[in-house]
Structure 1
């Protein structure tokens, strides 16, 4: 019996909702991970790192990449080393700081990422195919309320 089924009779509605959200996230993430591996022979962390760099064409320092991805610097360094070896990212010295460098996508990296991003978008669209446009808009709005409330509580 999965977490969601167990919580159905034992816990309040809010906990059941939380578990439903978590279960949906885990299922979709597993599908995306599987598809990235099968279609592009890559991993979700590699895709995520490239996505961060796509949003920052001038490049990002390693510390900033780690912060944005919410992983340790060692993990980012390992992924960056792999991507650099494949010619997908460059390391560029930071003027005035000999110890720091920025990482940015190469032209090849941008092409590879764009192919992956287009396919990724289709996988996500497919994951939500059971919902109407109105359902999606409503769910988005409701989850926005939860997000705003959670942020307020965290700040205050």
Structure 2
């Protein structure tokens, strides 16, 4: 009668791989939890969505306006998604399209004064929500987390496909 095979003890390399996977899953879980809170709060407080907020935030950062392709690239979504959001925001008077004098086939999108006002209110609340969501960490812990995430970001940016 043979004895059943037993699992070999994990090697240091295998334990490190497992640890990397756990870090990734924890980052993803935390991101999803924060995002869910922000989505809910934007919906209940402003009857808005996170994609709308993100589009308006990009336009707020670029008061001279952005082309649709630039918005799509910055938001990392398809042109169709940007078009749908922009159409809805334009209907509501929050963004306007201006013809590009250098390229008659394209236009620039920018916030209207009402769009700036509404985004300002949302951005102020959004910042307070994020501060509250991270209140479980003290200043030193947040600084340490930023330092570690900065290192990870630098490392990831050096990896080519």
Q: Distance in 2 between matches of 1:83 and 1:40?
A: 14
**Separation in 1 of the partners of 2:101 and 2:92?**
25
Structure 1: which 5+ runs fail to align?
Answer: 1-8
For these two proteins, the number of residue pairs brought into alignment is 146
Partner of 1:31: 37
Q: CA deviation at 1:96?
A: 2.5
Aligned equivalent of 2:110: 104
Gaps (5+ residues) in structure 2? 1-14
SS at match of 2:160: helix
Match of 2:138 in 1: 132
Provide the aligned C-alpha RMSD in A.
1.3
After TM superposition, give the deviation of residue 12 of structure 1 in Å. 1.2
| Whole-angstrom CA distance in 2 between matches of 1:50 and 1:142 | 30
Aligned to 2:25: 19
Tell which structure's C-alpha radius of gyration is larger.
2
For 1:77-156, list aligned pairs within 5 A.
77-154=83-160
Task: State how far apart, in whole Å, the 2-side matches of 1:77 and 1:110 are.
Answer: 19
TM-score (norm 2): 0.88
Higher helix residue share = 1
